[in-house]
Chains A and B, each alone.
Chain A
Amino acid sequence: MKTAYFPGCSLKTIDRAYDVSTRVIAEDLGMTLVDVEDYSCCGAGELKGEGIKSHFLPARNLAHLINQGETEVMVSCNVCYHELSRTAYAVQKGGKNLEDIQAMLKDADEPLIKEQPTVRNTLEYLVNVVGLDTIAKHVKVPLTGLRVAPYYGCLYQRPAKMVSSVQIAGEDTEHPHFMHDLMAALGATVVEHRAETTCCGGKNLLSDERISGKLTGRILSTAKTSGADVLALMCPKCAGGLDALQFRAVGMVGDTAKLPVMYYTQLIGIAFGHRPEELHVGDMESGSLDLIRHFLAEPAIR
């Protein structure tokens, strides 16, 4: 199965763990990922204030997708997913905004958007297109006994009108559950908690250490006090605050915010029998490698 794929800047560089684990499990599942060529940044939410211009970077990527003969693209990073979905939605609505988007592409010597693009999130794609049964069949090392707290963040399921997870796959915008279902299919113990869709404040990660520290601290401590061994996430921006800068969260709310964090795709990879090194689990900064090594070494806890 050929699937167009958009990794984006951060997955191509420091968040390779998310990219590589996506590719590894896709290969296991018989998917052939084809990258969107000559990609640019999606805008990372930072140009939003600039009205129509905020659509330029996502539109450039969507135009390249269509030019490659594809209309559907799978995206792992939630920020890219949001930005591309938002522009695809503007394209679908048409009117003056679409005309302006095409005019920008023309001025930039880029191809126009000649067809309606569809933007899919890797999580809902795995559950909705590949299917949980197929995924369960590939499990070689069931995650039995590992207590996983799913964390969706914001942009996978909001705003409902613009995202494929809700519009195509029928995800619940208030209480998303696909990651719960997926983790259960891997044999993990799913830990429900009250911060599954609260915001990590990632947009202001650099500029507002206090609020992002507080918000991430609350998510981590909520998951941990609910009994989680590991928080499974799906956004590199969230990972910035929850994993790489976890020390800030700990500084804000104390040791209850100390919790291993991993991309859910890495957990799928482990369950599919891959070594943690292949999935770059060691790139995570929150003790995830120790956790997984311990888990793999002691079948007794499974």
Chain B
Amino acid sequence: MAKGSGIIERSLLEDDQIMEEENLVMDGIDISGRWNTMLKTRVHSQRDLDSWDEVRASAIGESIDNCIQCGMCTAGCTVAQEIPAFNPRQFIYWVRVGRKDDLIKNADVIWRCVGCYICTNHCPKEVNTAEVIESIGQWLRTQVPEKMDPAYRANHEAYRHQLETYGRLSLPRLQAEFLSKLGRQKELFGPDLRQAAVKMLKDGRAIKTLLIGRPRHWNRSRFVLTDSARA
């Protein structure tokens, strides 16, 4: 049996926190099997509340203080059902008790939110959970950018670059930038995408896409979007 398999919400624990012996006799009493599962005591000595300050100061994270840790968000969460370590309630908990170490360890997991807003919709305390999670993710991006999965980073950077440069999204251009950031530009002409590309060239959508243009005096708007003083 897997280590600690009898524990409810097993995904909240690290392997090395669990003590379990296959055969154990204590004071002459046989406590073999799941009866001897114990957790190591954790001492949390470094409380780091930077993330909390950042999140509650942000326009998207300000509702974090309403959270009562009820777990409704996690119960309905799309990604939690696919990745057990993805737990929005727990991310909020870590922020509020200053567990920077756990947040950093799970940064890559936090960034996988799909923005479906089920959490926000279910929250009984008017926490905009989806955006609080986004805000925690943003803070982590400033702390440990290198932990981001290359495909996620390429996705984010490609969107950011396309939006600030053109003010409008051309999906083919976005996809090309995304793939070239990953050194996968060959896929643009691969079997999966070629068929669709040829079709779009023939039916005129490719031209429309190329002619999407920019909004008027876009430079001013671009300046606002790239102004690092505004957070």
- Chain A interface (Cβ within 8 Å of chain B)? 9-10, 12-14, 16, 38-41, 43-57, 60, 90, 97, 100, 104, 107-110, 154-155, 158-161, 173, 198-199, 201-204, 206-208, 211, 214-215, 244, 247, 282-283, 285
B156 touches A46 (CB 8 A): yes
User: Given A204-B114, A206-B178, A108–B220 Cβ distance below 8 Å?
Assistant: yes
User: Given A44-B159, A52-B59, A54-B60, A10–B215 Cβ distance below 8 Å?
Assistant: no
Contact with A along B145-181 (1 / 0, CB 8 A): 0000101101110111001000111111001001000
A211 touches B151 (CB 8 A): no
B117 touches A158 (CB 8 A): yes
From 206 to 231 in chain B, residues with beta carbon under 8 angstroms from any chain A beta carbon are: 208-209, 212, 215-218, 220-221, 223-225, 227, 230-231
Closest Cβ of chain A to B218, distance in Å, is: 8
- Chain B interface (Cβ within 8 Å of chain A)? 58-61, 78-79, 82, 112-118, 120-121, 126, 128, 130-131, 134-135, 137-138, 141, 149, 151-152, 154-156, 158-160, 163, 167-172, 175, 178, 192, 196, 200, 203, 205, 208-209, 212, 215-218, 220-221, 223-225, 227, 230-231
Contacts of A202 on B, CB cut-off 8 Å? 114
Q: Give the nearest-CB partner of B78 in chain A.
A: A199
Q: List 10 A-B pairs, Cβ < 8 Å.
A: A9-B168, A13-B205, A14-B208, A48-B115, A49-B134, A100-B59, A100-B230, A204-B152, A206-B154, A207-B154
B208 touches A16 (CB 8 A): yes
B78 touches A109 (CB 8 A): no
Contacts of A9 on B, CB cut-off 8 Å? 168-171, 212
Main secondary structure of the interface of A (DSSP, over half): helix
Task: Give the complex CA separation of A285 and B225 in angstroms.
Answer: 35
A51 touches B135 (CB 8 A): yes
Contacts of B220 on A, CB cut-off 8 Å? 107-110
User: Given A12-B208, A13-B170, A110-B221, A206–B151 Cβ distance below 8 Å?
Assistant: yes
B169 touches A60 (CB 8 A): no
A97 touches B59 (CB 8 A): yes
A199 touches B118 (CB 8 A): yes
